[in-house]
């Protein structure tokens, strides 16, 4: 013990005051918390140990190509990085975002760092065809580090920058960087996202940006904005301002054109597309009540009708009035306003949970059907619904200068095998929210549809809380832990239903977790979205051959870095002891 005290006395600058621990690379390349005596009295910070101990132990999602990371670590000051001027303001902004992540770590570094970009197209759009691959190369010589990021597109280059930021780990004032790195990387699926519902509860712009921060940090590329629903209509339509006057929860709970442009831009420089959704013809109600007052007739029916159980899946009810031809002018104007602000290559046209009894109990609709000799049978209501689907699509095309985008549609009665003929697979990509074992999944890929996985039994982030109507727990309980999300492999689900042809597997273009917000609001949704959506990020970027058990130490560490360095506060995965004592908080087999 005298020896230890002596050592501490010799290295006072290296020990952390009033702290008996250090970190050391132990067996299985795991950082272990050890008494200072075990590191000769020198305090080695956990971030430094993590970088040096296991190649790639700080990366999330894990790269899919070559990963060569040496154990040498140099201290750096990111503020002093010399970053070769990018050609576009877009890349310059991405670089500013990168630097900003490290702004609170101001200690001087040992290494002089130069970063160079070799990006073919800094103005690339993000679509299903975008090449998001990149190559990251770091070499250090005599205290000079060179970082080279090579990519075909802006999105790829930005991912490279994100990986670089994961190879820089910080504590207190200091940052450490891996000195020798070669990584080549590309995602396995082109569509990786999170849905946020801002209709059931309203989310402020800063919170939406925080969600985008989390997407960006884990290389998710899609913020699916379920911006309207029956509950409220916060999207400000400049052509139809009555929509928010009647549909917003208050005059303050509105997304203006300026807000949306701000968010779309914020996402773009972070490699994220914003996918707008106008859900229809169901999930529409509040906001549409002004039609009669303005002489356009009823735009929606069953709005807020009670007992709701008869006319919709949850209160409040509401469905578009397909008997009113004026409806389409309104929808077209909303499309126009959305297209003015949401500039991405895809659009979500809604399409879930149509309730036939609402229409069947609304005289205006039944008169319309009778007048057109549409029978009031299941087939008849499908015909009516399809009339909406076709006209809405035509209006969208008209509003978009005669072109469609990548049109996305929920699974529904219309995507069941017997009614799927209404839909054209060259037009629609289907977002699949049925259970992983439902027969729709194999049928959709066999019929040629591209599919985005959001099967509720793995990917719905709202499940497992108390019921919000009635007692017990909510409909899709239990809670979906990150492990379940991590194991959401669509190939496995297709194979279980007999689809083993890789060409059909490739119809799955990606996945999204879904944050429905009956029970989530501005101040608590982050804890439900993250770190679970990080699990999705690795599933659809890396398509890992190993399971959650192998990934856990990396995720636990990554989540703690997101908290400490980025201020992204998701749920807590473990006691902090487990973050500090890597790999011990697990089940043992003995």
In the annotation, is 283 catalytic? yes
- Classified as helix, coil or strand, 49 is helix
Among 82, 142, 250, 426, binds a second copy (CB under 8 A): 250
Q: Pick the catalytic residue from 229, 277, 462, 552.
A: 229
CB of 283 to a second copy, least distance (A): 12
Considering only residues 252 through 271, tell me which ones interact with a second copy, judged by CB under 8 A. Answer: 253
CA distance 421 to 507: 18
Asked if 578 touches a second copy (CB under 8 A), the answer is: yes
- Classified as helix, coil or strand, 386 is helix
Tokens of 393: 């699509």
In the annotation, is 378 catalytic? no
CA distance 77 to 589: 44
Among 71, 360, 400, 580, binds a second copy (CB under 8 A): 580
Closest CB to a second copy among 443 and 477? 477
Site string for a second copy, 308-327 (x = CB under 8 A): xxx----xx-----------
CA distance 61 to 178: 17
- Classified as helix, coil or strand, 143 is coil
Options 77-85, 108-116, 276-284, 479-487: segment touching a second copy (CB under 8 A): 479-487
Among 206, 403, 426, 471, binds a second copy (CB under 8 A): 471
Among 184, 443, 483, 497, binds a second copy (CB under 8 A): 483
Site string for a second copy, 533-572 (x = CB under 8 A): ---------------xx-------------x-----xxxx
- 508 beta partners: 451
Q: Respond yes or no on whether the N-terminal peptide bond of residue 165 is cis (omega within 30° of 0).
A: no
CB of 203 to a second copy, least distance (A): 11
Asked if 7 touches a second copy (CB under 8 A), the answer is: no
In the annotation, is 353 catalytic? yes
- Do residues 452 and 428 touch, judged by C-beta distance below 8 A? no
CA distance 499 to 323: 41
CB of 429 to a second copy, least distance (A): 28
Whose CA is closest to 225, among 286, 273, 284? 273
Closest CB to a second copy among 23 and 428? 23
Site string for a second copy, 158-187 (x = CB under 8 A): ------------------------------
Asked if 368 touches a second copy (CB under 8 A), the answer is: no
Asked if 144 touches a second copy (CB under 8 A), the answer is: no
Options 23-31, 115-123, 159-167, 289-297: segment touching a second copy (CB under 8 A): 289-297
Considering only residues 200 through 219, tell me which ones interact with a second copy, judged by CB under 8 A. Answer: 200-202
- Classified as helix, coil or strand, 210 is helix
Tokens of 127: 């679509």
> How does strand 450-453 pair with strand 168-171?
unpaired
- Classified as helix, coil or strand, 469 is coil
Asked if 492 touches a second copy (CB under 8 A), the answer is: no
Asked if 520 touches a second copy (CB under 8 A), the answer is: yes
Q: Pick the catalytic residue from 101, 159, 283, 348.
A: 283
Asked if 473 touches a second copy (CB under 8 A), the answer is: yes
Give residue 304's Cα distance to chain centre: 31
Asked if 35 touches a second copy (CB under 8 A), the answer is: yes
Non-local (6+) Cβ contacts of 572 within 8 A are none
Asked if 298 touches a second copy (CB under 8 A), the answer is: no
CB of 20 to a second copy, least distance (A): 5
Considering only residues 428 through 467, tell me which ones interact with a second copy, judged by CB under 8 A. Answer: 464-467
Among 161, 183, 211, 248, binds a second copy (CB under 8 A): 248
Non-local (6+) Cβ contacts of 356 within 8 A are 378, 381
Asked if 468 touches a second copy (CB under 8 A), the answer is: yes
Q: Pick the catalytic residue from 353, 364, 383, 387.
A: 353
Asked if 62 touches a second copy (CB under 8 A), the answer is: no
Tokens of 280: 């229809």
Helix residue spans in 72-227 (DSSP H): 89-101, 154-166, 205-217
Tokens of 476: 């899709």
Tokens of 191: 């569509």
- Do residues 552 and 544 touch, judged by C-beta distance below 8 A? no
Asked if 108 touches a second copy (CB under 8 A), the answer is: no
Among 70, 380, 425, 481, binds a second copy (CB under 8 A): 481
- Classified as helix, coil or strand, 541 is helix
Asked if 590 touches a second copy (CB under 8 A), the answer is: yes
CA distance 253 to 250: 5
- Do residues 107 and 173 touch, judged by C-beta distance below 8 A? yes
Considering only residues 224 through 243, tell me which ones interact with a second copy, judged by CB under 8 A. Answer: 231-232, 241-242
Would you name the residues annotated as active-site residues? Answer: 229, 283, 353
């Amino acid at each position: 013990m005298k020896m230890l005290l002596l050592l501490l006395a010799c290295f006072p600058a290296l020990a952390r005051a009033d702290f008996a621990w250090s970190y050391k690379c132990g067996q299985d390349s795991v950082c272990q918390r050890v008494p200072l005596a075990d590191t000769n009295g020198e305090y080695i910070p956990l971030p430094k140990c993590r970088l040096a101990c296991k190649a790639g132990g700080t990366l999330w999602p894990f790269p899919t190509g070559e990963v060569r990371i040496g154990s040498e670590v140099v201290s750096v000051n990111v503020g002093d990085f010399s970053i070769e001027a990018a050609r576009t303001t877009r890349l310059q902004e991405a670089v500013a975002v990168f630097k900003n992540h490290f702004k609170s770590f101001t200690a001087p570094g040992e290494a002089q760092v130069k970063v160079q970009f070799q990006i073919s197209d800094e103005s690339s759009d993000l679509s299903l065809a975008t090449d998001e691959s990149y190559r990251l190369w770091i070499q250090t010589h005599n205290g000079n580090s060179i970082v080279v990021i090579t990519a075909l597109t802006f999105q790829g280059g930005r991912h490279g920058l994100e990986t670089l930021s994961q190879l820089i780990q910080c504590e207190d004032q200091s940052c450490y960087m891996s000195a020798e790195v070669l990584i080549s990387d590309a995602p396995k699926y082109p569509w990786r996202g999170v849905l946020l519902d801002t209709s059931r509860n309203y989310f402020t712009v800063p919170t939406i940006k925080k969600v985008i921060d989390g997407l960006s940090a884990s290389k998710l590329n899609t913020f699916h904005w379920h911006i309207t629903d029956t509950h409220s209509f916060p999207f400000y339509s400049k052509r139809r301002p009555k929509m928010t006057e009647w549909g917003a929860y208050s005059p303050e709970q509105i997304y203006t054109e300026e807000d949306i442009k701000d968010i779309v831009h914020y996402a773009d420089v972070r490699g994220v597309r914003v996918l707008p959704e106008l859900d229809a013809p169901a999930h529409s109600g509040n906001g549409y009540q002004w039609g009669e007052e303005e002489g356009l007739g009823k735009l929606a029916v069953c709005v807020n009708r009670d007992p709701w159980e008869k006319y919709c899946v949850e209160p409040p009810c509401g469905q578009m009035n397909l008997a009113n031809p004026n409806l389409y002018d309104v929808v077209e104007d909303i499309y126009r306003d959305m297209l003015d602000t949401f500039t991405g290559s895809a659009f979500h046209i809604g399409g879930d949970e149509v309730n036939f009894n609402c229409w069947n109990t609304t005289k205006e609709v039944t008169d319309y059907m009778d007048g057109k000799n549409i029978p009031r049978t299941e087939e008849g209501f499908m015909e009516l619904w399809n009339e909406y689907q076709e006209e809405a699509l035509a209006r969208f095309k008209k509003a978009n200068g005669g072109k469609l985008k990548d049109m996305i549609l929920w699974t529904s009665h219309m995507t069941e095998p017997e009614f799927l003929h209404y839909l054209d697979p060259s037009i629609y990509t289907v977002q699949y929210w049925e259970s992983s074992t439902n027969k729709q999944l194999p049928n959709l890929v066999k019929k040629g549809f591209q599919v985005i996985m959001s099967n509720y039994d793995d990917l719905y982030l709202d499940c497992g809380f108390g019921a919000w109507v009635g007692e017990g727990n909510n409909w899709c309980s239990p809670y979906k832990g990150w492990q379940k999300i991590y194991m959401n492999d669509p190939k496995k689900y297709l194979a279980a239903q007999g689809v083993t042809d890789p060409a059909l597997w490739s119809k799955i273009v990606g996945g999204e977790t879904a944050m429905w917000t009956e029970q989530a609001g501005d101040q608590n949704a982050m804890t439900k979205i993250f770190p679970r959506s990080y699990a999705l990020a690795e599933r659809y970027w890396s398509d890992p051959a190993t399971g959650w058990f192998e990934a856990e130490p990396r995720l636990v560490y990554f989540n703690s870095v997101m908290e400490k360095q980025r201020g992204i506060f998701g749920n807590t995965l473990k006691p902090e002891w487990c973050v500090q004592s890597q790999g011990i908080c697990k089940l043992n087999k003995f």
